[in-house]
Structure 1
């Protein structure tokens, strides 16, 4: 069995720690909050993030990063996108041996327009790992923590490294596939949060299932257009990290992005929504990043543009919906044909 450090004790980091502990690995869960570490070590709970879940006693929380990564064979990064660069800088100062390096963060940096794996490779010397692995897919932490059936994908530049991560996590509750398309896997996991914001906005406005189904379907077309323009396989977006993650994130109250969108659709402003959520809503920063990428790549993304207007330009949600519904006539198969021909 392996010694694994999980960096980030939010809901997803905690849930993945449970999976690893169920597989009899020694799990070191790093947090910078002493109170949270005490809660995990003494009560075996993480009340703020997974209050309904009892944690295995084999999960030990650390506030000292050097202690957390000492002699581990794998490091799993599960911190928000905005913290990835800083945590990697801290990690390279204390890590003194090679590890399997995995990240499970879904986002794109709006300043550099880098994917998470690209940020990691910029900040972490290659002496410490062979290839970065990304873990993504339709996976609410609340359900993973309760050991409900979940299926995800891991991807890396080399299959051997992806399979190392697959072996760490796979069990009877948590099925793990491999996929060689790391760009597509990361983009699918990040961009679906934008569409989830839109799904919440649609429901907050009082629209029905017809509107949400259209939003999800046309949102998938946007994701695939941008993804293939950046070198992804179109088949990736028909899989777990594409349509799979879209379904789970756009249709569930567990989704922070959906809940944030719902409040926006009901007329609340973004600042109040984020304060109320109390947790990171990755889709907000990713919307900004994806809008910039769409212009850089020359890719049409009207839904993303509309949500960007709502978030950052104070556009009224209903006005944006009206704009989308009155766009010029299009042939539905035109987008699919263009994607598959790239």
Structure 2
């Protein structure tokens, strides 16, 4: 039996995908009686998915628990409810770095749930594709040794899960690619063209590898689904919230503040983290400045293009 905590687009999509092979319980604060989610138009939640607004019911006898919560909401949720979650597999799906503490999701989970076994599920995926049964491949990463059973539990005929023992790398790939996706959106929104977007994606990936490997990740993990794969998807599609947010910034348009954009807060956290480590992250710094309104698009691009010439 799998419990999914968080009935947003991704948590609901996983519930829809997994209910054909598992008993699935989905918890959310505002579940709809009509079994629909606004972020997934045309996708209904099957009757096989048990819906509940009771966190106690959602967590009782459920192992694993999937935490499908926004990165910036995770710490507060764990502080309030970690005692209900401890002692089992906890699978994080958040792609971000906590803005206040600079910590990864797994570190936050470990602080509140010290006896839990922790994994992260990440990679190139849109919730709508998963919910509609489109073929998708994801990475399931953990420092734990017995990952095969969990891998099977989360797989379906069209949801292919690859396992990894590089939890740090998988988490950082998922978080950092959102920052680069915003930069890619800025380039297109500002009318700078596809060549500029390609350059930002490429140099942004170099920044991702630079920071992640300094923090203990393996470079091959960043070159996999959880890094490069997710980067390609979110930097080239209008379905990406981070890309759309960047596009709005580049075009000088207002973006809907009710839409969660993980990369905006992560850019700020990454910029601070990189400065402390003396790691050059000019694209992340630029996105952080744009997100906070500290710089304009023209000024930002000029600063990026006028950096000292060097070898690639």
Question: Fold match, TM over 0.5?
Answer: yes
Superposition deviation, residue 22 in structure 1 = 2.5
From 29, 32, 36, give the equivalent of 1:32: 29
Secondary structure in 2 matching 1:219: helix
Aligned partner of 1:335 in structure 2 is none
Residues in 1 aligned to 2:213 and 2:199: alpha-carbon distance in whole angstroms? 21
Aligned partner of 1:328 in structure 2 is 308
Q: Select between 195-204 and 319-328 the one with higher mean Cα deviation.
A: 319-328
| TM-score (norm. length: structure 2) | 0.96
Secondary structure in 2 matching 1:245: helix
1:215 aligns with 2:200: yes
Aligned partner of 1:8 in structure 2 is 6
> Where in structure 1 are there 5+ consecutive unaligned residues?
333-342
Q: What is the aligned length?
A: 312
Aligned partner of 1:312 in structure 2 is 292
Q: Deviations over 1:102-157 (max 9, x none)?
A: 1111010111110000000001131xx2x200000000111111111110001111
Secondary structure in 2 matching 1:159: coil
Secondary structure in 1 matching 2:255: helix
Superposition deviation, residue 52 in structure 1 = 2.0
From 77, 100, 105, give the equivalent of 2:94: 105
Q: Deviations over 1:16-36 (max 9, x none)?
A: 11222122x111111111xx2
- Pairs within 5 Å for 1:86-105: 86-95=76-85, 98-105=87-94
Aligned partner of 1:179 in structure 2 is 164
Residues in 2 aligned to 1:76 and 1:157: alpha-carbon distance in whole angstroms? 17
- Pick the structure with more helix per residue: 1
- Pairs within 5 Å for 1:161-310: 162-268=147-253, 272-275=254-257, 278-310=258-290
Residues in 2 aligned to 1:274 and 1:233: alpha-carbon distance in whole angstroms? 36
Aligned partner of 2:64 in structure 1 is 74
> Where in structure 2 are there 5+ consecutive unaligned residues?
none
Residues in 1 aligned to 2:178 and 2:107: alpha-carbon distance in whole angstroms? 19
Secondary structure in 2 matching 1:29: strand
Residues in 1 aligned to 2:79 and 2:125: alpha-carbon distance in whole angstroms? 28
Superposition deviation, residue 221 in structure 1 = 0.2
Give the superposed CA RMSD: 1.4
Secondary structure in 1 matching 2:51: strand
| TM-score (norm. length: structure 1) | 0.88
1:22 aligns with 2:20: yes
